[in-house]
Amino acid sequence: MNRATRPFRLHPSEEALRLAELADDAQGRQNSYAYRGQARALRGEVPAALADFREALDWQHKVDGDDESLYSSRGIFHTHLLARLGRRGESQRLTEANLAVLAPWGEDDPDKAKCRLILALLQLASGDVSAAERLSYAVRDWALARDAKEVLCWSALVQARIELARFSPPLPWRGEGESPVSHRPNHPSPNLSPPGERDFSSAQAALDEGLKIARACGFSLYHIDLQLEVARLRLLQGSPSKALAALRTALDETCPANPETGEPELLASKDPGCGYAWPSSEPKPCCCRPRRNSMQRSSIENPRPAPGRSR
């Protein structure tokens, strides 16, 4: 099984978490600390993850001889965690800085598409659904043109959240120095008409697309988050039993590999091989606080250097 399909397990990754200490050069250490920070972030070890990203930044400065913020996948790992934590202003500033560093690479770099998905999530969290949708559609078009499966799966998840935001009350939490979402004029009023009078087809289509890719590629983490959005949709449709079924799939029911179709294993968040602590970055019904024993697979690429910068 190649790197693109084999499961990414967090609990057995203790050996990988020692790479930062084992790396014998500055370039290796900047990446090792970033990967360890990502693993710890996915496990919910936030202070340790932030400390690792700080170490990665220090080593990046030694390699590049400048004071840039973390860039490439190192920066994506960091800013995605900041977005999850509600530190939206900081996440947006650093994501835009990452895009500026990556600009010379042209539009074929997947890290740029991932940065734009983080920006879409930040716009959605701030209440600007239209801006989030523009970014999501642009990334989806980019991914379709290049058959970029991971980016396409992530964009489907983001689009599903955008579609469902049209039917849900605004989130009550706020970012740094920001007013509650419900008080902002650019947040549309949710459609709270009876379930039978609402059109959920766009949300369902985005979920179907994301789940199909996740199943084919073994993207367990995306699969968990997508199933949680399915649960949200089923509640909006007035089907609590189907919502609970989707939650069980996300949390308890690991899908085994299918040797006949070649589909890889999809881990549930409570699988013993799992360590994913964020089944969702947004509040969900019943069970969706970050968990210490949840997980998924992620296809993590090596960071690509910007022109004139080290890998």
- CA 128 – CA 204 distance, rounded (Å): 21
> Has residue 274 been placed in a domain?
yes
Whole-number pLDDT of residue 272:
79
> Has residue 79 been placed in a domain?
no
Tokens 């978490």 belong to residue:
17
> Has residue 38 been placed in a domain?
no
> Has residue 219 been placed in a domain?
yes
> Has residue 216 been placed in a domain?
yes
> Has residue 80 been placed in a domain?
no
User: pTM (2 decimals)?
Assistant: 0.80
> Has residue 123 been placed in a domain?
no
Cα separation values, 284 from 179, 230, 235, 247, 278, Å: 22, 11, 11, 10, 11
Number of structural domains in the chain: 1
- The number of helix segments (H) and strand segments (E) in the chain equals 12, 0
Whole-number pLDDT of residue 115:
98
* pLDDT tens for the chain, residues 1 to 311: 333 333 445 443 456 556 667 767 888 889 889 988 998 998 889 999 999 999 999 999 999 988 889 999 999 999 999 999 999 999 999 999 999 999 998 889 999 999 999 999 999 999 999 999 999 999 999 999 999 999 999 999 999 999 999 987 544 433 443 433 433 445 555 555 655 668 999 999 999 999 999 999 999 999 999 999 999 999 999 999 999 999 999 989 999 999 999 999 999 888 877 778 877 444 343 333 443 333 333 333 344 555 456 55
Whole-number pLDDT of residue 187:
52
DSSP designation for 281: S
For residue 259, the enclosing domain spans 161-170+199-299
Whole-number pLDDT of residue 283:
38
SS3 content of the chain, % helix, strand, coil (to 5): 60, 0, 40
> Has residue 106 been placed in a domain?
no
